[in-house]
Chains A and B, each alone.
Chain A
Amino acid sequence: MRKILLIAVIAAGLSFISWRGSWDEIRNTAETIVSVKADFVQSKHMKILSRPLVSRGTLYFKSPQSLRWEYTSPVKSVLLMNKGAVVRYVKGSGGFVKDASAGLQSMQVVVQEISRWMKGEFNTNPGYAAELKNGGRILLVPKDKSFSKIITRIELVLSDRPGIIDSVKIIESEDSYTTIRFEKTVINGAMNDALFQSL
Chain B
Amino acid sequence: MTRYSRAFRVIVPGAAAILFARCSQLPAIIPADFSQKESINKICASPFSQKSWRFIHSIEAEMPDGSMANLLGVTVVKPSTRSIHCVLMTLEGLVVFEAAKDNGLKIKKALPPLDNPHFARGLMEDISLVYFPPSGICAELGSLDGAVVCRYKNEGALVDVKVGPEEEWEILSYDSSKRLNRVVHASDIDAGGVPRTIRLRAPGLLGYTLILPLIEKERVP
Residues of A that sit less than 8 Å from B by CB: 42, 44, 46, 48-50, 53, 55, 71, 74-75, 77, 88, 90, 92-93, 97-101, 104-107, 110, 150-151, 170, 172, 176, 178
Contacts and interface: CB of A to CB of B under 8 A. Distances in A.
A98 B68 contact: yes
B211 A93 contact: yes
Contacts of B74: 46, 48-49, 53
Interface in B69-93: 69-72, 74, 76, 85, 87, 89-93
Contacts of A104: 90, 96, 111
A55 B213 CA distance: 16
Given A46-B87, A74-B58, A100 B63 contact: yes
29 contacts: A42-B93, A44-B89, A46-B87, A46-B95, A48-B87, A49-B74, A50-B220, A53-B72, A53-B216, A74-B58, A74-B215, A75-B58, A77-B91, A93-B211, A97-B60, A99-B70, A100-B67, A100-B68, A101-B90, A105-B112, A106-B90, A106-B94, A106-B96, A106-B111, A107-B92, A110-B92, A151-B94, A170-B94, A172-B94
B56 interface: yes
A50 B56 CA distance: 11
Contacts of A77: 70, 91
B218 interface: yes
Contacts of A99: 68-70
Contact of B71 (A55, A101, A151): A101
A178 B92 contact: yes
B69 A176 contact: no
B178 interface: no
For chain B, which range describes its interface: under 10, 10 to 19, 20 to 34, or 35 or more residues? 20 to 34
Given A92-B70, A104-B96, A178-B92, A50 B211 contact: no
Given A48-B76, A49-B74, A150-B111, A100 B69 contact: yes
Contacts of B95: 46, 172, 176
Interface in B36-64: 54, 56, 58, 60, 63
Contacts of A53: 56, 72, 74, 93, 216
A108 B211 CA distance: 25
A75 B63 CA distance: 20
Contact of A92 (B68, B72, B96): B68
B108 to A, nearest CB: 10
Contact of B68 (A75, A90, A150): A90
Contacts of A170: 93-94
Nearest to A49: B74
B113 to A, nearest CB: 8
Contacts of B92: 42, 107, 110, 178
A52 B98 CA distance: 17
B93 A44 contact: yes
Nearest to B113: A104
B54 to A, nearest CB: 7
Interface in B169-221: 211, 213, 215-216, 218, 220
